[in-house]
């Protein structure tokens, strides 16, 4: 019985320590996936294309509240707007994420970075591929379900030069090692 009580006390102390940890430690890393809804606008074409998208992400903390994160779109679909098919054929980004300390499991972070996007436009008279690189920023609310599993709501905007505007809203999970 004493061994069981000691084990329960140790587990409670470890869990309490993990919940009270206000930030991640350098060299901690994580892997995650997001389901995103995306709005795409291109200059010179009518309307707005809407996509659903699966995004993989991985990051490493380089300081206590600063992480580097890479994102890769792995599933894309297309949308037809006024006779033109929009297909998101590539979507990659690299962010520096600035995090607040955790409070009751919640943290807010701001991501600043670089994104690469390729969009294919096709209709009877047009077969065009737009490839653009540019500045991207995001805001995320992250909730630590436990020390390893996190759930996040995310907004990302990509300013990809003069031709493409891409905004996304996502819900994701990540595992912190």
Task: Name which CATH class applies to 2-176.
Answer: mainly beta
- pTM surpassing 0.75? yes
The whole-number average pLDDT for the span 63-90 is: 83
pLDDT at residue 76 is higher than 70: no
Confidence at 31, pLDDT banded by 50, 70, 90 = very high
pLDDT tens profile 105-119: 999 999 999 998 887
* Per-residue model confidence (pLDDT) at position 131: 76
* Per-residue model confidence (pLDDT) at position 85: 81
pLDDT at residue 60 is higher than 60: yes
Higher pLDDT, 75 or 136: 136
Flag the least confident range among 6-15, 28-37, 102-111, 117-126. Answer: 6-15
CA atoms of 103 and 142, how far apart (whole Å) = 11
The whole-number average pLDDT for the span 109-133 is: 83
State the average pLDDT for the chain. Answer: 81
* Per-residue model confidence (pLDDT) at position 45: 64
pLDDT at residue 144 is higher than 60: yes
Domain ranges (residues) in the chain: 2-176
pLDDT at residue 12 is higher than 70: no
- Is 98 exposed, middle or buried (CB count within 10 Å of its CB: 0-12, 13-18, 19+)? middle
Nearest to 176 by CA among 107, 91, 76, 94: 107
**Which of 39-43, 126-130, 140-144 has the highest mean predicted lDDT (pLDDT)?**
140-144
* Per-residue model confidence (pLDDT) at position 16: 42
């Amino acid at each position: 019985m004493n061994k069981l009580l000691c084990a329960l006390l140790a587990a409670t102390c470890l869990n309490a320590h993990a919940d009270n940890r206000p930030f991640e430690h350098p060299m901690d890393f994580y892997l995650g996936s997001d389901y995103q809804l995306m709005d795409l606008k291109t200059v010179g074409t009518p309307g707005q294309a809407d996509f659903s998208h699966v995004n993989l992400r991985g990051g490493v903390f380089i300081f206590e509240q600063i992480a580097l994160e890479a994102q890769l779109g792995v599933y894309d679909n297309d949308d037809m707007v006024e006779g033109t098919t929009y297909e998101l054929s590539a979507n990659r980004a690299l962010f520096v994420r600035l995090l607040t300390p955790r409070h009751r499991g919640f943290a807010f972070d701001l991501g600043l970075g670089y994104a690469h996007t390729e969009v294919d436009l096709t209709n009877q008279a047009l077969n065009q591929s737009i490839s653009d690189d540019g500045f991207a920023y995001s805001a995320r609310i992250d909730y630590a379900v436990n020390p390893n599993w996190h759930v996040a709501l995310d907004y990302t905007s990509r300013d990809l030069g003069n031709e493409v505007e891409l905004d996304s809203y996502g819900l994701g999970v990540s595992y912190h090692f």
